[in-house]
Amino acid sequence: MDQAEQLRNIIKKQNQKRHIARVITVTSGKGGVGKSSIAINLAIQMRKLGKRVMILDADFGLANVEIMLGIRPKYSLADVLYQGKEIKDIITSGPMDIGFISGGSGIRELVNLTREQLSVLVQKLYDLDEMADIIVIDTGAGISDSVLEFVAVSSEVLLVATPEPTSLTDAYALLKTLHQKEEFLPDNTKIKLIANRTFSEKDGRDLYSKLNVVAERFLNFELEYIGHIPNDQNISRACIQQKPILMVYPNSPASLALEQLAIQLSDTNAVVLQNKKGISQMFASLLHFRRR
């Protein structure tokens, strides 16, 4: 049994006695489809629903969440790894008192950790599980290994796509590549589609039908459709102001749709919630596969 596997077993035992956060991973097959905006606004609405919410920006390339929130965190996950910081030290306060953690170069450096650093990181992530009810992970876009690894070890994934043919193609490419990953177990991961920038409810349903048909036929797993977000110019206006749309245009069509999506996610059935891993278990799984 390797060290990462030992860590996972330790975590499983300790998680039985600890609070485990619900982790929702938000991803997309390509950039520019509104993934980060959706991640931020869903986090804010879940906070409005009374949940303790954290956002982890796992895109070490672009840091879109920082830009959209108009904040510059002093520390990142890398400071936990290399500077001895505690999890509480690297959390930046965002809108509605949601917590924000920048992955920074720490996500990329996970593969290079020593055994001692692995143990320290996973132990410290227990604290994050205790601090939050929901942790929203905003991955990078596309089918890079760093994106797919996060998705593969997640129990709950939101896949964002738009009705554009290129977005549909890229979303399927992500699912196909994910399906080829050894660590991806379809029975352990629920992938939920959000159709963004639609002009009607039918647009969203059509997008889901097209993507789900090929996923069932060629990949042998089924997606879940949880709704659509209408094309709304207020989203661009909010981005220019570096404010979440729910904060500056709360009655706009996109904001109302995001509210409904957050409520629907909050009403997720008990089976999904029973299968939640928590952030510590998720990272242990990620480290296990990276070090094989």
102-113 pLDDT, tens digit per residue, is 887 666 676 677
pLDDT at 244 over 90: yes
* 278, amino acid identity: G
Residues 6+ apart with CB under 8 A from 224: 190, 191, 192, 193
Cα separation of 182 and 115, whole Å?
23
pLDDT at 271: 47
pLDDT in tens, 8-37: 565 555 555 577 899 999 999 998 999 999
pLDDT for 270 equals 46
| pLDDT value of position 6 | 58
Contact residues for 141 (Cβ-Cβ < 8 A; gap 6+)? 27, 28, 29, 30, 31, 32, 33, 35, 59, 147
Q: Is the pLDDT of residue 275 over 80?
A: no
Bridge partners, residue 195, by sequence: 161, 228
pTM of the model: 0.89
Could you tell me the pLDDT band of residue 147, with boundaries at 50, 70 and 90? confident
Residue that the structure tokens 């890229």 belong to: 170
What pLDDT score does 65 carry? 82
Residues 291/4, Cβ–Cβ less than 8 Å: yes
- Say whether 135 sits in a helix, a strand or coil: strand
- Dihedral, CA of residue 221, residue 227, residue 233 and residue 236, to nearest 10: -50
Residue 12 has a pLDDT of: 58
Question: Which stretch of DSSP H or E encloses residue 138?
Answer: strand 134-138
**261/13: higher pLDDT:** 261
**Mean pLDDT within 54-75:** 81
- Cβ atoms of 244 and 69 within 8 Å: the answer is yes
